[in-house]
Amino acid sequence: MRVLVVEDNQALADQLATALAEAHFAVDRAADGEEALHLGDTEPYDAVVLDLGLPRLDGLSVLRHWREAGRAMPVLILTARDGWTEKVAGLDAGADDYLAKPFAMGELVARLNALIRRAHGHARPEIVAGPLRIDTAAARVTLAGQPVRLTALEFRLLAFLGHRIGEVVSKTELTEHLYAQDFDRDSNTLEVIVGRLRRKLGEGVIETVRGQGYRLAAGG
């Protein structure tokens, strides 16, 4: 899953990026509203963390533009502790959730995971495909009750397919959602990751649909 962090406070942006990377997200960053506007318009994010008090263009204006342009990615806004008017304005502009500063990083990660799940129609944090279970909240995978150790990239790929279980996802779309903007996106790397997952999970879990992409089999 790929997220955009929009925060002009360098220290907080660093903390957010670190916490999200540790939770196996691919993270892009923007330090002002104009950069955020451009990235949100041109890159396919699974969720956005958006501070409202931004230089060059405020967060509310960015959010309104995205929604008016039909950008539907979940947006979690960051507000001042006593900024109830900001919260209301943000929700009215199309935000999906908010957190007041200061906040616990664990809560932010949990809320983002919940927003992404809901966006894909999943009410529970666990995605089940036969004997395969993907716990998106804990970033944990089990097969027939046994834990499976995955790298961050392997988990991101599997979780993305899990959110679209039974659907064919193109290699292009997978690549766009697996890697941050500054990552060297080599299509061969995707095939290597799928190969590793098949060795760990079995050949029948991730299906190749020739000429179209990959699919996580609903039966596992």
What's the pLDDT score for residue 203?
A: 85
pLDDT digits (tens, 9 = 90+) for 54-112: 999 999 999 999 999 999 999 999 987 677 888 899 999 999 999 998 999 999 999 99
Tokens of 159: 């979780």
Global pTM value: 0.85
Fold exhibited by the domain 126-216: Arc Repressor Mutant, subunit A (1.10.10)
Q: Where are the domains of the chain?
A: 2-119, 126-216
Which superfamily, per CATH, for 2-119? Response regulator (3.40.50.2300)
β-bridge pairing 213-216 and 26-30: unpaired
What's the pLDDT score for residue 137?
A: 85
